[in-house]
Structure 1
Amino acid sequence: MGERQGDTGVNSPPHSEESVVETDEATITEHSELERTLGLAGGLAIGIGTMIGAGIFVFPGLAGSEVGTAATASFAVGGVVALLVALPTSELATAMPKSGGGYYFISRGLGTLAGTIVGLSLWLGLVFATAFYLVGLGYYALDALAEVGISISISSGVLVSVLAVVFGIGFTILNVTGTENAAKLQNGIVALLLSMLVVFLAFGMLEAFGIVDADTPPSEAENVWEVVPILSVAALVFTSYLGFAQVATVAGEMKDPGRNLPLAMIGSVLIVTALYVVTIFVATDVFDQTALEAAGETAMVEIGRELLGTPGALVIIIGGLLATMSSANASILSTSRAIYGVSKDALLPQRASQINLQYGTPHIALGMAGGPIIVLAATRQVQLLAEVASFLHLIMYGLICVALLAIRRDEPEWYDPDFRVPGGPVIPVLGAIASFGLILFMNRLSIAVGIGVIAVTVGWYLYYARDVKLKGVL
């Protein structure tokens, strides 16, 4: 196999002789860049919208049943790990504000092998995570129908699959028609969702401190203040913190990236961590561990019912619908940009990085994202693969921190970030240790499947991408 060149500039050689451009349209799409249409609000919406997903409505019951009110510490640990990675990611993103995010930073800092592993793993991890969000959206839609007394004759499982597929197709088409359209929907969903959550949680806090009386059960969840259980729950709920790095995958479409990228990533982590901690505090104040375990994934709906009756349950159901819609929409956008970045470097066939002339979006990459997502969503068997997505993201987060250390050591001429992480190497070192360390507390099967995915990406590198030479920053 002959040597291939990654796309490192307008004058870079093509992927291979077979990929020589033959039409004017292909020439334009191969060398076009995505338009910068996203502002700070759009970046925050992607980060918050991806993180405020199924996690805030599913994990309080599961986490609270494991360690009680100590689950607040588990969510706080997840937020600290995310923040330790968000800071190095912000520095790298302001130096390399290009679509591809973590893949782009790692490939430039650690080379083609690490870039291939992360780029393909990010794609696959986001595919399965997005399918999980869509299935969750289907279940929330089903609960909403049941709550208002609407009954449909077909089985609930089939209906969930149909809803998941329909929403998946709709979000994919929306993203093809323009990033700005998708961002507007994202901004609206996140604004409404945050408003609902803030009002609901404010009432829950007033009840917790005895300022109002909602006639909730007198018992509270117990504390299990032990390090290993708290960290195990932190590993379980870390799926909730995958969204902040997705902001970096649309760096090539952000206005004033030197300012907006750090604010969007760090701001989304801080806002979401606060919301999660308050949510689990309210949940464990209303129900004890036995009640949380009995309610399981629907615990937040039952907590809403305890606090505000049927209207409270409806608020949570609507919030769940908005949250899963937001997560799915943002993740489809981010998945396509991960494919786009890898393809521009020729680690995947470069046709995937072509840009639609009418809408200015990477339509082939969106098809490669939306297609498998829709197929997986139809199966409804995505829970384990959603957990694997957390494993793959933690690998990427750790390598992002290592990449920052490597780039700082080498000090290439092109490296001139608008934002620098304070404290020298301390934060990236802690970020790498925290990311890799949290993996040790995950379910062993999830680790095994994640390792299997990484093995597949290494195989692709050896078969297709090992001759690709990356030449710095676009």
Structure 2
Amino acid sequence: MSQQGELERTLGLPQALAIGIGTMVGAGIFVFPGLAAGQAGPAATLSFAIGAGIALLVALPTSELATAMPESGGGYYFVSRSMGTLLGTMVGVGQWMGLVFASAFYLMGFGHYLVDIVAALDLGVDIPVTTIAFVTALVLTGISITGTKNTGDLQNIIVGVLLALLAGFLGHGLLDALGVLGGEQVPETFAPYGTLPVFTTAALVFTSYLGFAQIATVAGEIKNPARNLPLAMVGSVVLVGLLYVLTIFISTSVFSSEALAELGETAIVAVSRDIAGPIGAVAILIGGLLATLSSANASILSSSRSVYALSRDALVPDATANINKRYRTPHVALLLAGGPIAALILFGRVEVLAEVASLLHLFMYGLMCVALLLLRHHDPNWYEPDFTCPASPWLPALGAIASFGLVAFMQPLSIGLGAGLLAAAAIWYRVYAYDVSLKDERA
């Protein structure tokens, strides 16, 4: 049985950081090094730095918006209350589907790592990557239904083990890359494929930086949001961005860009094996398994909250906002996240999944920055944030320009799919919810 009601504030700063870090670490370190180096060479380090810079430009305005409106829904809630229901619906649906695409991408990476572990153990079992990803999507959805705290606790465990493994890898790898340890290395041209691939690669890998926004999505369940939201969002971007840049620097110091590209989604395993032998490879295999799992776990949670927020405002059917009477979670919304993720896994094109996820989030990020500018300009009585974005209006304006601009460097197929989903959201609004008056209308 279920009923509508309020979500509990059960997530503290450690859980909020774990959601952000756990979502971001997976793709950037364990899936993208081979793909990114194959496109941009060692300059992929700059691609990840560009992504981190754009994420920070958005994280600071988002922190202000979230402390003024600490409600579940994140970007959807901010845009709908400042820019109206049409754009709000497009952002809400985009946020939902962006996380669905991202989760499918993360779970495909999880499948690749599990297949490699099975092969390394020589178990003689041949399980398709898509089958592993599909089953895992169903399991994680079930865990989320049993309680938000269960998801937060799972994130804490996964991220704690993951960061311990990465500390060892990055510490040893950095000494090796700098020539203190290891053998002699042959230098490679920093940008062997030119300047443009640096930006197209930044557009591809931006999926790695979606985690900070997921923190805002569960703002309604975070304790002491005035303090914990800004700390969690900005802190997670800074820490994870540094980890990414170091990982690509180490990887391209150990292997050539061409070799990394051939190794594909699990290239980092070969890098770790070269640095620390079989023990290093096993450690990174375990780390990759945990990282991609934590990314998918956090994304499923956040995706469902987007659907929940849309339903609470009657922009989608009311039944999707039902709260499970036993677990106090939006179980219908969680099923609307897990179901499409399982379906997309069958699509299988990981780069397209990643770029569509990035595009839908960049659309939301750009509008959030614009929303902050509008709220500062109109200064409504209810707008009283506990955190103030510095350097306004210049910083949020730059965040909007950078977010929208990065979309231009994506593949045409990704742009077409993302634009199609946003257009479908606009059509849905016109057909189903054009006459909706928002509850708690603030604009």
Cα distance between partner residues in 2 of 1:105 and 1:295: 41
Cα distance between partner residues in 2 of 1:330 and 1:341: 17
Decide whether aligned partners of structure 1 residues 315 and 221 sit closer, same or farther in structure 2, where only a CA change above 3 A counts. farther
The one-letter code of the counterpart of 2:407 is I
Quote the offset at 1:375 in angstroms.
2.7
Q: Does the Cα contact within 8 Å between 1:164 and 1:378 map onto a contact in 2?
A: no
Cα distance between partner residues in 2 of 1:146 and 1:221: 32
Correspondence 1:238 to 2:206:
yes
Decide whether aligned partners of structure 1 residues 383 and 211 sit closer, same or farther in structure 2, where only a CA change above 3 A counts. closer
Partner of 2:164: 195
Question: What are the equivalent positions in structure 2 for 1:135-154 lying under 5 Å apart?
Answer: 135-152=108-125, 154=126
Partner of 1:12: none
**Segments of 4+ in structure 1 off by > 3 A?**
378-383
Q: Does the Cα contact within 8 Å between 2:112 and 2:265 map onto a contact in 1?
A: no
Partner of 2:326: 358
Quote the offset at 1:289 in angstroms.
2.2
Quote the RMSD (CA, aligned, Å): 1.7
Partner of 2:138: 169
Q: How high is the TM-score relative to the length of structure 2? A: 0.96
Identity percentage over the alignment? 56
Q: Does the Cα contact within 8 Å between 2:37 and 2:252 map onto a contact in 1?
A: yes
Q: Does the Cα contact within 8 Å between 1:220 and 1:287 map onto a contact in 2?
A: no
Partner of 2:60: 87
Cα distance between partner residues in 2 of 1:124 and 1:234: 21
Question: What are the equivalent positions in structure 2 for 1:95-134 lying under 5 Å apart?
Answer: 95-134=68-107
Q: Deviations over 1:308-360 (max 9, x none)?
A: 11112111211110011101100110011011111101100111111112111
The one-letter code of the counterpart of 2:86 is L
Quote the offset at 1:55 in angstroms.
2.7
Q: Does the Cα contact within 8 Å between 1:231 and 1:441 map onto a contact in 2?
A: yes
Q: Deviations over 1:92-125 (max 9, x none)?
A: 0000000000000011111000001010111112
Cα distance between partner residues in 2 of 1:301 and 1:59: 12
Partner of 1:433: 401
Out of 292, 307, 314, the position equivalent to 1:324 is: 292
Q: Gaps (5+ residues) in structure 1?
A: 1-24
Q: Does the Cα contact within 8 Å between 1:376 and 1:382 map onto a contact in 2?
A: no
Equivalent position SS for 1:346: coil
Out of 215, 218, 228, the position equivalent to 1:250 is: 218
Report the more deviating stretch, 225-234 or 351-360.
225-234
Q: Deviations over 1:120-140 (max 9, x none)?
A: 111112112212212221221
Q: Which has the larger radius of gyration?
A: 1
Out of 188, 193, 202, the position equivalent to 1:221 is: 188
Correspondence 1:304 to 2:269:
no
Report the more deviating stretch, 370-379 or 190-199.
370-379
Cα distance between partner residues in 2 of 1:146 and 1:53: 21
Q: Does the Cα contact within 8 Å between 2:307 and 2:320 map onto a contact in 1?
A: yes
Q: Does the Cα contact within 8 Å between 1:219 and 1:287 map onto a contact in 2?
A: no
Decide whether aligned partners of structure 1 residues 233 and 149 sit closer, same or farther in structure 2, where only a CA change above 3 A counts. same
Q: Does the Cα contact within 8 Å between 1:128 and 1:382 map onto a contact in 2?
A: no
Quote the offset at 1:472 in angstroms.
2.4
Q: Does the Cα contact within 8 Å between 1:208 and 1:285 map onto a contact in 2?
A: yes
Partner of 2:238: 270
Quote the offset at 1:382 in angstroms.
5.3
Decide whether aligned partners of structure 1 residues 67 and 378 sit closer, same or farther in structure 2, where only a CA change above 3 A counts. closer
Cα distance between partner residues in 1 of 2:292 and 2:110: 5
Out of 8, 20, 32, the position equivalent to 1:59 is: 32
Partner of 1:444: 412
Q: Does the Cα contact within 8 Å between 1:388 and 1:450 map onto a contact in 2?
A: yes
Q: Does the Cα contact within 8 Å between 1:222 and 1:289 map onto a contact in 2?
A: no
The one-letter code of the counterpart of 2:305 is R
Q: Deviations over 1:63-111 (max 9, x none)?
A: 2233322211111110000000000000000000000000000111110
Q: Deviations over 1:352-395 (max 9, x none)?
A: 11111211111111111112222333453554233211111110
Cα distance between partner residues in 2 of 1:244 and 1:250: 11
Report the more deviating stretch, 249-258 or 288-297.
288-297
Report the more deviating stretch, 289-298 or 51-60.
289-298
Report the more deviating stretch, 371-380 or 100-109.
371-380
Equivalent position SS for 1:469: coil
Quote the offset at 1:56 in angstroms.
1.2
Cα distance between partner residues in 1 of 2:442 and 2:65: 12
Correspondence 1:415 to 2:388:
no
Q: Does the Cα contact within 8 Å between 1:220 and 1:286 map onto a contact in 2?
A: no
Partner of 2:152: 183
Equivalent position SS for 1:348: coil
Q: Gaps (5+ residues) in structure 2?
A: none
Aligned length: 441
Equivalent position SS for 1:53: helix
Q: Does the Cα contact within 8 Å between 2:27 and 2:207 map onto a contact in 1?
A: no
Correspondence 1:291 to 2:259:
yes
Cα distance between partner residues in 2 of 1:221 and 1:338: 44
Equivalent position SS for 2:8: coil
Cα distance between partner residues in 2 of 1:402 and 1:61: 35
The one-letter code of the counterpart of 1:434 is A
Question: What are the equivalent positions in structure 2 for 1:334-413 lying under 5 Å apart?
Answer: 334-381=302-349, 383-413=351-381
The one-letter code of the counterpart of 1:184 is D
Question: What are the equivalent positions in structure 2 for 1:1-16 lying under 5 Å apart?
Answer: none
Out of 12, 17, 24, the position equivalent to 1:44 is: 17
Q: Deviations over 1:238-272 (max 9, x none)?
A: 11111110000100000000000000000000001
